[in-house]
Structures are given as structure tokens and as C-alpha cells.
Amino acid sequence: MEDPIVAVDVGTTKVCTLVGELNEESELRIVGIGISPSRGLRKGIVLDIEEATEAIALSVNKAEQISGYEIDSAYVGIAGAHISAVNSRGVAAISRGDRSIVRDDIDRAMQAASAIAIPHNRELLHVIPRGYIVDGQDGVRNPLDLQGIRLEVEAHIVTGASTCIQNLVRCVKGAGVDVVDLIVQPIAAGEAVLTKAEKELGVAVVDIGGGTTDIAVFIDGSVWYTVVLPVGGDHLTHDLAVGLQTPFTAAEMLKVRYGHTMPDTVEPDETIDANSFGDNSHRSVSRRRLTEIIRVRSEEILELILREIKRSGYDGLLPGGVVLCGGTAELAGIKELSREVLGLPVRVGTPRDVQGLLESVKDPAHACGVGLLLWGLRNTRDGSREGSHPGQGVLGHLRHWLSVFSPG
């Protein structure tokens, strides 16, 4: 490759920049990583342009130093409770004499599906085809060159608040990086952690980050439902800080080192050292107490996830269960508790189909970043590297998503 593929995952707790290239076997190889503490963001929303820009720039600079590449453009993940999605249907008549469906017919059907009322303060992020119907015959994955009179498409349309989108883009550009494309984080994570069979069968990706929990439901090979909840791992840390009367940074360390969602697995008399407020003195606290706090908040988050899955209406169509990713997916016992609360098969997802020396990216916390790289790889192979910049218009989005996400 002449140019690398770059992903910037801007999260509430960290900014991660990944640099990938193709090896001789045309496999993705990660050659650079830069991680910096996230600043100026809360629950996926930019609150301070200057601080967020500095955090992104630091992450990008670290990735440049390790990879040896100069980074000037990237695929960027976006999240936040402002993200919303709706499913829509569009119809196009096939009027040519031979009745053969061509790309222009698919474009017209997708344009009809996207012709929904979008408030002036929102922007289109994704228009993803879920499936096609030709003359009443559903289940069509790729209608190109089929014979028909009437073409229908079911599309998944994702939008975001214009101000939130533009603030994020401004921060990334302020760090000297152009935005090739914005991808909603749970959809990106699905690229990294799901198998093709899971997407076909029916599965939900649940990315539990620091400030948000991102959910995407995949059925028949495409995404059918997307939602972002304004809760995440930081809520566990906050509860620990209050309950154990310890600073937030100390509570985060305790969560990572000693945290567990199953209090019964911890000895009742086991104690751990914790910092106190004010004088930085150390004192002993009950580890059982720590795990009890974690369990209560974890159950609350999982119950919110279950509510959203049921609200989607697809809870009975998920034989693949739930795949957890994000930093909180590394919490001990979270898989077992998730099975108990959700009543579905659960596994912890780690990035797949990547090569390289950076073993540190092969954990659930980097699912979104690796997924952004895989998304960029597919764009490059499809010849659509120019991406789908915010503000380019509906037609540009349609052409982009048809090239990237057409079934079959």
C-alpha cells in the first residue's frame, strides 16, 4: 500500500489511533498505535474543543512515531446519546423494456428510502440496505441484473446531531487529520468481533465503553437496529469512588485490578488497600464491598441493554446472542452476569482478522478501533477511499453505503 489506513477511536476515557497496512497476503497488519487519555469529552460528546483536539493530536503523534507514517486522514468512530436510527422502505419502478435491474434502479430505491423527514439540526450518517424485495419476493441479497417490475429496499438510516458531528470533525481536523468517514461505533465494532455466520444468524454487539454503551443488532448479514445509551464503565468507577470514599483515579485502579461482578467468588474477610481523600493516606477496604457495588451497577447497565434489545423487537431473533466488547467487557465475571440478566448466549468479542506485533490491540477495548481499520480496508478494496464526509449530501452517502454495505 502506498498509504496506510488510519483509525481514530475518540472515546470518553481514551483516544486510540491505529495505523494499518496490507501485508503480502493482503491481510491487515497493524503497525502503529497511539493512546492518550481522553479530555474534553463526556458520554461521547465534545464539551471542550481545545482539550479534545489536544488529546487527539497526542494520540495521532504517538501512532506516527511508532508506525513511521505521517497521518493526514483517518476513519473516525462516533457515539453519543444523540445517535438515533430508523428503518425505512423505498420503491423504484423498473420501466425499461428488458426489465433488468441496474445500479441506477438500486440508487433510486435507496434514495426513496432515505426520503424521510430529517430535522434541520440532524445529519445523515449511514444509509445501509438491509435487504431487497423484487416483485414481492423478499430475501433478495443483491438485485443487480435480476428481472423485475418493482424493486423495494429496506434500509437502516442512522442520524446524529449536527452540532455534535461538526464538533468532533472540528477536533479531528484541528489535530491535523482529515476525516475520511464517520462510522457509528457499534457498527464499527461489529466489523472486528463478529463472524459472518453470527451476522447472518442474528446477534447483538454491545460495546460498553467508559461513557456510553453502544448497541447494534445484526440480522441476515446487515445491521437492523442501532442505539447508544449514556451509561458506561465510568459509572461503575463513580459508584466505587463514592461508596469506598476514594478518589476517582484510585477507584478506577481498584476496579481494574480487583473488580468482579460475582461477590460470592470473593472471600468475605479479604481486604485491599485504597487511597483516602485529602491526605492521600492508605486504608483497608473490603473487597467483597467493592464487588457488591460493581455488581449492582453492572446489573443496572445490563437491564438497560435488555430493555433496548426488547424495544428493538428483535429479541426473539438473536440465536447468536450477545457479543460484548469495550473496556468494561474485560471486567471479571461480566460474561456470566450478562448471561444471567439477558437470558441470552454471551461471549466476549476480541478483534479478528488482524496481524502484527501489537498484541495489545487484541482485546475487547480495541474492537471499535480495529473495526474502523477493517472498514477502511473494505473501502480501499472497493475503490471508495474518498469516503462519505459529513455534509456531502444524501446522494453521496447513498453511493458510499451501497458500495460498502450492499448485501451479497
405 in a structural domain: no
Average pLDDT, the chain: 89
CA distances 144 to 39, 94, 139, 402, Å, are 47, 12, 14, 12
Query: Which pLDDT band holds residue 261 (cuts at 50, 70, 90)?
Result: very high
Question: 211 and 286: one domain?
Answer: yes
Of the residues 160, 179, 204, the one at which a domain ends: 160
Q: Is the pLDDT of residue 403 over 50?
A: no
107 in a structural domain: yes
CATH code, domain with 323: 3.30.420.40
User: With helix as H, strand as E and coil as C, how does 31-73 read?
Assistant: EEEEEEECCCEECCEECCHHHHHHHHHHHHHHHHHHHCCCCCE
Mean pLDDT, residues 258-280 taken together: 85
Question: 216 and 324: one domain?
Answer: yes
Contacts of 275 (CB under 8 A, 6+ apart): 246, 247, 250, 281, 282
pLDDT in tens, 385-394: 444 444 444 4
pLDDT of residue 382: 64
pLDDT of residue 274: 84
CATH code, domain with 146: 3.30.1490.110
Q: Return the closest-CA partner of residue 374 out of 26, 128, 16, 15.
A: 26
pLDDT of residue 355: 72
Q: Domain range for residue 325?
A: 196-349
18 in a structural domain: no
Query: Which pLDDT band holds residue 92 (cuts at 50, 70, 90)?
Result: very high
CA distances 55 to 69, 201, 320, 408, Å, are 19, 39, 37, 39
Of the residues 330, 349, 368, the one at which a domain ends: 349
Question: 305 and 237: one domain?
Answer: yes
Q: Return d(Cα 173, Cα 373) in angstroms, integer.
A: 19
Q: Return the closest-CA partner of residue 346 out of 381, 382, 305.
A: 305
Mean pLDDT, residues 174-191 taken together: 95
Q: Is the pLDDT of residue 94 over 80?
A: yes
Q: Is the pLDDT of residue 321 over 70?
A: yes
Q: Is the pLDDT of residue 395 over 70?
A: no
Q: Return d(Cα 386, Cα 69) in angstroms, integer.
A: 19
Q: Return the closest-CA partner of residue 333 out of 359, 302, 309.
A: 302
Question: 222 and 274: one domain?
Answer: yes
pLDDT of residue 385: 45
Least confident of 87-96, 282-291, 382-391: 382-391
Q: Return d(Cα 5, Cα 7) in angstroms, integer.
A: 7
Question: 155 and 200: one domain?
Answer: no
Q: Return the closest-CA partner of residue 368 out of 197, 206, 220.
A: 206
More confident position, 404 or 29: 29
Mean pLDDT, residues 33-52 taken together: 94
Q: How many CB atoms lie within 10 A of CB 174?
A: 15
Question: 292 and 151: one domain?
Answer: no
Q: Return d(Cα 334, Cα 340) in angstroms, integer.
A: 10
Question: 344 and 201: one domain?
Answer: yes
**Is residue 247 a contact partner of residue 334, using CB atoms and an 8 Å limit?**
no
Which pTM was predicted?
A: 0.89
* Alpha-carbon torsion, ordered 236, 238, 242, 248, to 10 deg: 120
Q: Return the closest-CA partner of residue 28 out of 225, 221, 192, 219.
A: 192
Q: Return the closest-CA partner of residue 236 out of 267, 196, 216, 208.
A: 208
Residue 207 CA to chain centroid, in angstroms? 6
Least confident of 71-75, 212-216, 359-363: 359-363
Q: Return d(Cα 361, Cα 402) in angstroms, integer.
A: 30
Question: 147 and 224: one domain?
Answer: no
Share of the chain above pLDDT 70, in %: 90
Q: Return d(Cα 167, Cα 135) in angstroms, integer.
A: 44
Q: Is the pLDDT of residue 239 over 70?
A: yes
- H or E stretch at 155: strand 150-161
pLDDT in tens, 68-78: 999 999 999 99
**Is residue 132 a contact partner of residue 95, using CB atoms and an 8 Å limit?**
no
User: With helix as H, strand as E and coil as C, how does 372-383 read?
Assistant: HHHHHHHHHHCC
Question: 245 and 129: one domain?
Answer: no
Instruction: Find where cell 447483538 sits.
Output: 204
